[in-house]
Chain A
Amino acid sequence: MSLTAPFRILALEVVILGLTVAFLLTERLMLSALWLGVGILAAVGASRWTAGEDGTPWALLATHRGWAVGGLVVLLLAVPLLLRSSPYWLFVLVLAGVHALMAVGLNVQVGSADMVNLGFAGFTAIGAYTSAILSRGLGLSPWLSLWIGGLAAAAVGVAVGLPAARTRGYSFSLVTIAFGIIVYLSLINLPAVGGPSGLGSIPPFSIGGTSLRSALSVADLHLPPQAGSYYLVLGLLALAVTSALRLHRSVPGLVWNALREDEIATKVLGVDVVRAKLWAMGLGTFFGGIAGAFYAHTVGFIAPDNFTFLHSVMLVSMVILGGADNVAGVLLGAVVLTIIPEKFRAFQDYRLLLYGVVLVVMLHLRPQGLLPRVVRTYASVPRRPEGARRPEPVAADTVAVR
């Protein structure tokens, strides 16, 4: 049993990732649909095969975390090799990574604390423009300006949060919508930042004088120019996911969940609600700002039209359709909702129309998200021997009130 468990996990990961790559590489739409069907069936089958008592593979993945994470990292690192023949799809994956980075940040607000931020694109714009201007105008290294962009976005996030923390529900959403539109309109009307035509020739990330936008070749391996950006966004994503998971498991994550379940009860318990909300604003927008800045240096060109209300809505739908408050779900949502519209490339003009249809249909088919929120469990001993009874799950709200 102990020998087969890691094997099963690796098999699960290979199946899912392999089918994803096959799906990406299939240019004919009918064939893609076929692959998608096979992929879903195989993924469901494989997760059944690895499922524990509760019917999901989570328990197995948690007990053999080293194998699970290690296998995933190796497989993800190998993806550019598999996609050598189609750099376009590698670029789509980089874009998916940017969206995932933004969605992980947004999830802190929308998923954990139920602060439905519908102006997140505005915050990512702050990060992107700050970093672009610092590196383009002042000659700062993108490696440094990236973090300054994140900090700038976080500062603005907290500044908006100061008044916004007084509101909640739809009022909070409207404050963020208004902020997002103000940022968009300001960018358009400020000639200093390029106005409607945006900012171009933003310097790329470079290592020892070699731009990350140029083709990589290690020994005999020739990787497409997008590989560098792919690895960098993976690194940033690893950082963001690690921090998000740690936040989720620690007191701030618990406080945010408590806010979501019952703000008054949380307040009564003596939690500083405004401070918790400000942390959610600051941390979430920090990731968003870094993602925006990364996008600016990777693509080399940003314009106000990259940061519209529609983008904010798409980010929220990635969080919700992926699985609010479940980091793995949010990543999946970001990847799926980035790849699907690109697959509709064949329909050109009808792409956005189909996106709308897919959004509505998915909301109906899977309202709880692709990977629903997991009920928090607290075990006295972190690693139990296999076959031992799991303790009864404790709902997050019960814990928070206790």
Chain B
Amino acid sequence: MNKNGRTHLVTEFSLLGILALTLFFALPFWFMFVFATHTDSAIFSVPTPIWFGNQLQENYQSLLRHLPAFWLNVKTSLYISSATALLNILLCALSGCAFAIYDFPGKGLLLKAVILSLLFPSVLTMMPTAIMVSFLDWFNQPRALIIPAACGSFGVLFIKQYIEQAITQDMVDAARVNGCNELQVFRHVVLPAITPALASVGLLTFIGAWNNLLTPLIVLKDPNLFTAPLALRSLQGVGAMPWGAICLGASLTTLPFVILLALTARWIYRVTYHNAEV
């Protein structure tokens, strides 16, 4: 009885701890959305507002005043991220398939080179890439961000691993015996089996490209062609910062991810720990 009571108390305390942690992670987002609806002076008044205000319209106008190309920037970001994700899905699937179900001269050497290259930090390629971008005259062009990232080595190795686990050589041979040519093997045997892996590659490259700061900082110079994060950053340090407008811009670029995560949370939950029950 006594012990039972104590266990309950401990559980209550843990729940309180979890609640505090959840607040720690969630509150900055809450204040971002709340600040987006207040004037700059209200944001820094005592006490800080904790509920929505009525300045949304004004902040939106202020945002467009400070960043006339805001929606163009969002469009650029969307274009760069989706193009990178789609190219990665296609090219990683093809290369992963080539590595996983074919034997060809040079395969071992190529794989070794790819794995070895992953050990080197990306900072090494930063300067040469800048020189190449200027040599190709790719400054201010989305392709300077899309093409170098079009087929990540991690993605290729991940898909290769996935195909090796999902598909046996027998399945490939059976398809060939039944009259599939190589392209049909890829299309009808490999692709359907690796859809979840391709979804992860697409999602991760999309998020990575959207949040990339360093490369856009180097290759994009024209504010009209900035990505959305770069445009928001350009508001930093311009005298009096329009905080309401900044928080509104931040909210607008974050909201899609909140929704995306809310939609996929169940899936992540199932993958990461409902399988534990099996």
Are A and B a genuine interacting pair, yes or no? no
- Chain B positions near chain A (C-beta within 8 angstroms): none
